Chains A and B, each alone.
Chain A
């Protein structure tokens, strides 16, 4: 995986998405800020998350592991964790 690390790009974007979703729901001025800058908060999240995928994919192209996890495992578990975290967050927000 020379020149571009798909795995760590995916890991970074997965975590960033979960963070952006949770922070923008809990801190409404941040959601407004995203909407003001990108015309809609969803577009803001899309641009930031996908830019992170590209930027971290290039920046971390030579890294094979992160925090004792192989890049492959970091990407897989980060993606799954992000998907679960987003779903659980909206369940909790609705129920509380």
Chain B
């Protein structure tokens, strides 16, 4: 179960980086599928809460014990604590960006898509840092 959740977590996270990149590339051309992809991206950001929440609440406590007992406790105290809360804003940011596309304000949505890409990628990197912290 843990592996399935992890795969879902990673796939949805990658979608929140790759889909907005595609959206940004076609933002000016406004193809017919732009709204659909924006909707799918926002939906993915909400669905991502399920595997990430389950992983954090059920499986992370064991990792947390390892991290805090190791030589890199800051990877929990700073990185994981920040990551778990930044993640709560991903659906909000994705929904604002998608909402702007649906409202015909594609140009205004640009910086929200960029923020979504940066934040999703950063959260992915932070997850990797925490994983390294558990081995130190």
Total number of B residues with any Cβ neighbor in A under 8 Å: 27
Shortest Cβ distance from residue B62 to the other chain A in the assembled complex, whole angstroms: 16
Q: Residue of A at shortest CB range from B91?
A: A50
Q: Among A45, A80, A83, A90, which residue has its beta carbon within 8 angstroms of that of B78?
A: A90
Q: Residue of B at shortest CB range from A53?
A: B92
| Contact (Cβ within 8 A) B85 A4 | no
**Is B24 in the interface zone, CB < 8 Å from A?**
no
| Contact (Cβ within 8 A) B91 A45 | no
- How many angstroms from the CA of A87 to the CA of B86 in the assembled complex? 9
CB-contacts of B68-82 with A (<8 A): 74, 77-78, 81-82
A-contact 0/1 string along B94-124, CB 8 Å cutoff? 0110011001010010010001000100000
Cβ of B89: which chain A residues have Cβ within 8 Å of it?
Answer: 13-14, 17, 49, 79, 82-83
| Contact (Cβ within 8 A) B78 A94 | yes
Q: Residue of B at shortest CB range from A12?
A: B92
Q: Among B56, B57, B85, B95, which residue has its beta carbon within 8 angstroms of that of A53?
A: B95
Q: Among A10, A43, A90, A93, which residue has its beta carbon within 8 angstroms of that of B93?
A: A10
- How many angstroms from the CA of A6 to the CA of B93 in the assembled complex? 9
Shortest Cβ distance from residue B103 to the other chain A in the assembled complex, whole angstroms: 6
**Is B53 in the interface zone, CB < 8 Å from A?**
yes
Cβ of B74: which chain A residues have Cβ within 8 Å of it?
Answer: 94
Shortest Cβ distance from residue B49 to the other chain A in the assembled complex, whole angstroms: 7
Cβ of A83: which chain B residues have Cβ within 8 Å of it?
Answer: 86, 89, 119
Cβ of B53: which chain A residues have Cβ within 8 Å of it?
Answer: 42-43, 46
Q: Among B85, B111, B115, which residue has its beta carbon within 8 angstroms of that of A86?
A: B85
B-contact 0/1 string along A31-72, CB 8 Å cutoff? 000000000101101100110010000000000000000001
| Contact (Cβ within 8 A) A17 B77 | no
**B residues engaging A (CB < 8 A)?**
49, 53, 56-57, 74, 77-78, 81-82, 84-86, 88-89, 91-93, 95-96, 99-100, 103, 105, 108, 111, 115, 119
What are 16 A-B pairs at a CB distance below 8 A? A6-B96, A6-B100, A14-B89, A17-B85, A42-B57, A43-B53, A43-B57, A49-B92, A79-B93, A82-B89, A86-B82, A86-B85, A86-B86, A87-B86, A90-B82, A94-B78
